[in-house]
């Protein structure tokens, strides 16, 4: 009996944690169980915006964006970026103070990002009267905008946390640490979501395939090096390795109860 292939569009970011996770799947190094993936790589804010139009069957999303798209997409328990000590950072040139400016100009990596939502939580908690001017831009342009003086502060994500000090920048706030101190929960950053109109059997298979791809990467840590470097913004080996080690963890393999609790609390 011939089994028909199912074609699934899959989108994720070019960041090392995603290319590490999906390398095995993208290169047919795990048995895809008659599912063929058509893969697109794009920055997470672009994927957040594409998801509003249900452009991809399975897509990486910021948890903040997923919260507004739960009528269109369901959460998969594998592939997520969620953890401790991995949150966005508020950075500036030296000797700047967020509370000293009445109308600070702040660069953010997108209005739909978890980083921006966390920053709004933080302001509401500590500086409820502060009204900043928010300038969205691609995440890799945030640090240069701060260095050039085009903005007062920036919120950095991804590998930015590993290189900002080399650029002479200060970290004013670790938003992930602030969240952990407030909630005692890991911070939900990004997730993999699937269209709700895709059947449960297929969704379960894809969830398991992502887990197998992570398992393949763990057993063959050098196999995806070329693929990861091809797409990485920051090419230094130590930065790439730090990035993967921080953002790919047990929650990536399966959110589990603690991860689900963190996500539910975040949405509340």
- The active-site residue, picked from 4, 23, 27, 158, is 158
CA 60 to chain centre: 8
Q: Nearest Cα to 189, choosing from 151, 156, 163?
A: 156
Strands 170-174, 89-92: pairing kind? antiparallel
Contact between 63 and 251 (Cβ < 8 Å):
no
Known catalytic membership, residue 158: yes
Contact between 146 and 93 (Cβ < 8 Å):
yes
Contact between 78 and 207 (Cβ < 8 Å):
yes
CA 262 to chain centre: 15
Query: Which residues form the catalytic set?
Result: 158
């Amino acid at each position: 009996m011939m089994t028909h292939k199912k074609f699934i569009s899959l989108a994720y970011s070019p960041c090392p944690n995603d290319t590490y996770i999906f390398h095995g799947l993208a290169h047919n190094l795990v048995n895809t169980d008659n599912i063929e993936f058509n893969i697109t790589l794009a920055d997470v804010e672009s994927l957040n915006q594409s998801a509003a139009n249900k452009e991809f069957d399975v897509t990486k999303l910021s948890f903040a964006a997923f919260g507004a798209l739960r009528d269109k997409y369901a959460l998969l328990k594998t592939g997520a970026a969620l953890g401790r000590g991995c949150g966005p950072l508020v950075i500036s040139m030296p000797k700047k103070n967020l509370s000293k400016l009445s109308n600070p100009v702040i660069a953010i990596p997108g209005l739909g990002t978890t980083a921006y939502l966390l920053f709004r939580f933080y302001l509401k908690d500590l500086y409820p009267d502060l009204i900043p001017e928010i300038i969205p831009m691609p995440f890799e342009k945030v640090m240069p905008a701060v260095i050039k003086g085009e903005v007062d502060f920036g919120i950095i994500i991804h590998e930015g946390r590993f290189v900002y000090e080399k650029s002479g920048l200060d970290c004013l706030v670790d938003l992930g640490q602030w969240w952990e101190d407030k909630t005692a929960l890991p911070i939900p950053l990004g997730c993999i979501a699937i269209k709700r109109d895709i059947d449960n059997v297929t969704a379960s298979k894809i969830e398991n395939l992502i887990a197998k791809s992570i398992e393949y990467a763990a057993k063959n840590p050098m196999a995806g090096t070329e693929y990861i470097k091809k797409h990485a913004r920051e090419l230094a080996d130590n930065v790439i390795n730090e990035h993967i080690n921080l953002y790919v963890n047990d929650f990536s393999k399966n959110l589990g109860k603690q991860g689900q609790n963190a996500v539910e609390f975040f949405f509340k």
